[in-house]
Structure 1
């Protein structure tokens, strides 16, 4: 794994994806992000490491445009602007992350064997929660008997 840290762009594959986005025409960038997410979200196949890494990077870019999301700060992410993400990309991003951390993901398998694996999973959960926040229990519902 050509990885130097746990961030979405802190590996060779994601850094290359960021560079590819910068080199693409503005109108092609959204399709590239969508393609990376679709490839990972497909539950039919085993998800290889490079597809998982591209998906995490693409999710970070979607999260950066979401209210409550933070910028994908990295020297290795795209430096050129991206078009606004349509709402359906959020759902696709959640589906992709669910596959990235599943049993059929080579990336999750590698991180589970790494020293920082739990921190990586925490960061993935944090990204997912921005896009699909967990519903907090309602206190009133606890007392409605």
Structure 2
């Protein structure tokens, strides 16, 4: 596994995915991200690590555009601008859920190597992607 840390862009597959986004035409980038998310959601059988790593990176790109989202990794994240991805929040949440549900190679690999920090990264992404309550919900009448 070409992984060097627990962040969503800290592996060879995610870095390559971001490079592919940079090389794609601007009007194709959202579709590439959407595809990475839906591929893992639609996998009922054993989910391979590379697809999961792309989906985690895609989810992180969506989260980066949400309130409180951390910016994409400046070294391994995409250099080219991305369109508005906030409409993909639900897909990104569902993709993260699938990545962390058996059978998932990436989850198994992290479980074998003290994956607590990786799980914390995934949980931060989930928290950022969750819809924020509106002011009315916070102050009921």
**Pair in the same fold by TM > 0.5:** yes
Shifted more, 40-49 versus 60-69: the winner is 40-49
Equivalent position of 1:143 in the other structure: none
Per-residue CA shift, 1:96-131, capped at 9, x if unaligned? 00011112110000000113x000001101101111
Equivalent position of 1:138 in the other structure: none
Whether the aligned pair in 2 keeps the contact of 1:9 and 1:74 (CA below 8 Å) is: no
Equivalent position of 2:45 in the other structure: 45
Runs of 4+ in 1 over 3 A off after TM superposition: none
Shifted more, 122-131 versus 71-80: the winner is 71-80
Equivalent position of 1:131 in the other structure: 129
Equivalent position of 2:102 in the other structure: 103
C-alpha spacing 1:95/1:76, structure 2 compared with 1 (3 Å): same
Aligned residue pair count: 133
The runs of 5 or more residues in structure 2 that have no matched partner are: 134-141
Under a length normalisation based on structure 2, what TM-score does the superposition of the two structures give?
A: 0.89
Q: What is the root-mean-square deviation in Å for CA atoms of aligned residues?
A: 1.5
Structure whose CA Rg is larger: 1
Structure 1 residue 45: deviation in Å? Answer: 2.3
Under a length normalisation based on structure 1, what TM-score does the superposition of the two structures give?
A: 0.87
